[in-house]
Amino acid sequence: MKKKRATVIWENAEGRILLVKMPKNYWMLPGGYPETSETRMAAAIRELREETGLIAAEVKTLFEYESEHRLHKVFGVKAEGAPRAMPPEIVQVAYFDEVPAEKISKSTQEIVRLYREQ
């Protein structure tokens, strides 16, 4: 059975997408797995805060994406605050116009591509 993941897309005013860098030196969209009896939307809000310090002001479901090992529910978020890395889970945060080709999961590449095509 595939794990269910909450995945967050947050764009800044210039339309650049926020990615987080994990300790293993790869980039991905913020998000994670729901805790017991937590919805994926609640997990998206919690993970965004835990990973970046951002407080979600508005959250909407965008689409679902199925990867080899996970079922992603992708949420678009409007958030308050300035993102910052939250060690030890996240070592860096950065905005990207284009998803970097290296050190990034295929799922993140595909989710961003699908989002941009909407």
**Spacing of C-alpha 12 from chain mean position:** 14
> How high is the mean pLDDT of the chain?
94
Instruction: Determine the 3-state secondary structure of 9 from DSSP.
Output: strand
Class of the CATH-defined domain 3-117 = alpha beta
**Which pLDDT does position 99 carry in this prediction?**
79
Question: Residues 93-97: what's their mean pLDDT?
Answer: 93
pLDDT, one tens digit per residue, over 54-90 is 999 999 999 999 999 999 999 999 999 999 999 999 9
Residue 101 has pLDDT above 80, yes or no: no
Q: How many CB atoms lie within 10 A of CB 116?
A: 12
- pTM, to two decimals: 0.94
